[in-house]
Amino acid sequence: MRLEIKSTDRIGISQEILTIFAQRSWDLRAMEVVKYFTYVHIVETELRSLDVNNSLSGLDGFIQCREIDLLPSERRENHLQALLAKIPDPILDIDDQGIVLAINQSVRKLLLNSSQKDQANSFEGQCIAEYIDQDYQTLLTDKPVSIAITFVGQSYIADLSPVFADTKNTDSTVTGAVIILRTMKTLGRQISLMQTQKEQGIDSIIGHSAKIKVLIAQTLRFAELELPVLVSGETGTGKELLARALHNAGKRAKAPFLAINCAALPEHLLESELFGYAPGAFTGAQKGGKPGLIELANGGTIFLDEIAEMSIYLQAKLLRFLQDLSYRRVGGTTELKANVRIISASHQNLTVLLEKKLFREDLFYRLNVLNLELPPLRERKDDIPLLVQHFIQNAALQVNQNVPTITEEAMIALQTYNWPGNIRQLQNILFRVVALNTNEIIAKQDLISALSQFDVKVELSIAEGGKEGDKETGHVLSTEGTNAEANVESYTGSQVKNWASAQAQFELKMLSQLYPLYPTTRKLADRLNVSHNKIAMKLREHGLK
Q: Is residue 79 part of a domain?
A: no
Is residue 481 pLDDT above 70, yes or no?
no
Q: What is the CATH number of the domain that holds 111?
A: 3.30.450.20
Helix (H, G, I), strand (E, B), or coil: what is residue 139? helix
Query: Do 206 and 298 share a domain, yes or no?
Result: yes
Exposed / middle / buried, residue 73 (Cβ in 10 Å: 0-12, 13-18, 19+): exposed
Q: What is the CATH number of the domain that holds 470?
A: 1.10.8.60
Please identify, among 14, 45, 71, the residue that sits at the C-terminal boundary of a domain: 71
Q: Which residue from 238, 248, 250 is spatially nearest to 201, judged by alpha carbons? A: 248
Query: Do 97 and 158 share a domain, yes or no?
Result: yes
Is residue 436 pLDDT above 70, yes or no?
yes
pLDDT tens, residue by residue, 503-521: 888 888 888 888 877 778 8
Instruction: Please report the pLDDT score of residue 431 as a whole number.
Output: 92
Query: Do 407 and 515 share a domain, yes or no?
Result: no
Instruction: Please report the pLDDT score of residue 285 as a whole number.
Output: 67
Q: Above pLDDT 70, what percent of the chain?
A: 88
Q: Is residue 188 part of a domain?
A: no
Q: Give the single-character DSSP code of 28.
A: E
Instruction: Please report the pLDDT score of residue 246 as a whole number.
Output: 94
- Alpha carbon distance 366, 398 (integer Å): 41
Query: Do 387 and 328 share a domain, yes or no?
Result: no
Query: Do 528 and 475 share a domain, yes or no?
Result: no
Instruction: Please report the pLDDT score of residue 534 as a whole number.
Output: 82
Q: Which residue from 224, 217, 140 is spatially nearest to 177, judged by alpha carbons? A: 140
Q: Residue 442, Cβ neighbours under 10 Å: how many?
A: 22
Is residue 417 pLDDT above 50, yes or no?
yes
Q: Which residue from 464, 475, 459 is spatially nearest to 514, judged by alpha carbons? A: 459
Query: Do 112 and 223 share a domain, yes or no?
Result: no
Instruction: Please report the pLDDT score of residue 71 as a whole number.
Output: 92
pLDDT tens, residue by residue, 115-155: 777 777 788 888 988 888 778 888 888 888 888 888 887 88
Work out the pLDDT band at 479, boundaries 50, 70, 90: very low
Alpha helices (H) along 177-254: 184-195, 210-223, 239-248
Say if CB 447 and CB 410 are below 8 A apart.
yes
Is residue 465 pLDDT above 50, yes or no?
no
Residues 77-93 have a mean pLDDT of 84
Q: Which residue from 54, 52, 57 is spatially nearest to 42, judged by alpha carbons? A: 52
Q: Is residue 277 part of a domain?
A: yes
- Alpha carbon distance 438, 401 (integer Å): 9
| Torsion sign over Cα 66, 71, 75, 78 | negative
Is residue 171 pLDDT above 80, yes or no?
no
Work out the pLDDT band at 458, boundaries 50, 70, 90: low
Q: Is residue 76 part of a domain?
A: no
Is residue 462 pLDDT above 70, yes or no?
no
Query: Do 338 and 480 share a domain, yes or no?
Result: no
Q: Is residue 316 part of a domain?
A: yes
Taking phi first (over 0 means left), then psi (-120 to 50 degrees means alpha), and beta for anything else, what does residue 289 get?
Answer: left
Query: Do 219 and 357 share a domain, yes or no?
Result: yes
Residues 50-73 have a mean pLDDT of 89
Please identify, among 373, 404, 433, the residue that sits at the C-terminal boundary of a domain: 373
| Torsion sign over Cα 267, 270, 276, 277 | positive
Work out the pLDDT band at 359, boundaries 50, 70, 90: very high
Q: In the predicted model, what is the mean pLDDT of the chain?
A: 83
Instruction: Please report the pLDDT score of residue 4 as a whole number.
Output: 92
Residues 389-401 have a mean pLDDT of 90
pLDDT tens, residue by residue, 217-264: 999 999 999 899 999 999 999 999 999 999 999 999 888 899 999 988
Residues 291-298 have a mean pLDDT of 89
Is residue 318 pLDDT above 90, yes or no?
yes
Instruction: Please report the pLDDT score of residue 138 as a whole number.
Output: 83
Q: Is residue 93 part of a domain?
A: yes
Q: Is residue 78 part of a domain?
A: no
Query: Do 158 and 119 share a domain, yes or no?
Result: yes
Query: Do 248 and 315 share a domain, yes or no?
Result: yes
Please identify, among 355, 373, 391, the residue that sits at the C-terminal boundary of a domain: 373
Domain that holds residue 532: 491-541
Is residue 97 pLDDT above 80, yes or no?
yes
Q: Is residue 77 part of a domain?
A: no
Work out the pLDDT band at 288, boundaries 50, 70, 90: low
Work out the pLDDT band at 484, boundaries 50, 70, 90: very low
Residues 106-112 have a mean pLDDT of 85
Query: Do 520 and 471 share a domain, yes or no?
Result: no
Q: Report which secondary-structure segment, H or E, holds 531.
A: none
Q: What is the CATH number of the domain that holds 295?
A: 3.40.50.300
Provide the domain count of the chain: 5
Query: Do 390 and 309 share a domain, yes or no?
Result: no
Is residue 278 pLDDT above 90, yes or no?
no
Residues 324-340 have a mean pLDDT of 88
